[in-house]
Amino acid sequence: MPVIRITPLIALLLVALAQAQTVTMHITTSGAIDYARMIARDEGYDVKKTTVYTFDLLSGPGGQPFHQGYTAIGFDINGDPRNLIVINNNTGQAIDYNTCEIFDYPDLKPFQERIMHLSKAKKKTAQELADDVGCSSPKVLTKPVSLVGR
């Protein structure tokens, strides 16, 4: 059996290649719902009113992901759909699947940075996120709305 010698340069290249690989993250249900609550709060909703505002993990047929590569959370007000928030499993970035609104509020950054650090992924552009979910004109939301009696 031939002996394979790994030189220090080859070893360094293998380590660099392994580190460059993006790892798909699993976002827990509770983590995704907490994140969606932050988004709803930034949208101006008092999410402490749990009888009014509800959040549910959504999946596709047979328990498959609602949208590949994303964790989907439905945000309802009195049982009526408000947002369909999909969270990219590699970047932590969130977009509304129906309205093409990208949630880029300041308080979401720590979650996104943690996910990107663990996954070794790079932040997607607004257009890349929109392309992922099949919408064309993304609107990036960066300024939270104050709670206004909602």
Q: pLDDT for 47-63, tens place per residue? A: 999 999 999 999 888 88
Higher pLDDT, 56 or 13: 56
**In contact, 53 and 83? CB cutoff 8 Å:** no
Q: Which fold has domain 27-141?
A: Nuclear Transport Factor 2; Chain: A, (3.10.450)
**In contact, 126 and 137? CB cutoff 8 Å:** no
Tokens (6 digits) for 149? 């009696």
pTM of the prediction?
0.82
Q: What is the rounded CA–CA span in Å between residue 42 and residue 64?
A: 29
Residue type (1 letter), 91: T
**In contact, 64 and 5? CB cutoff 8 Å:** no
What's the confidence (pLDDT) of residue 7? 58
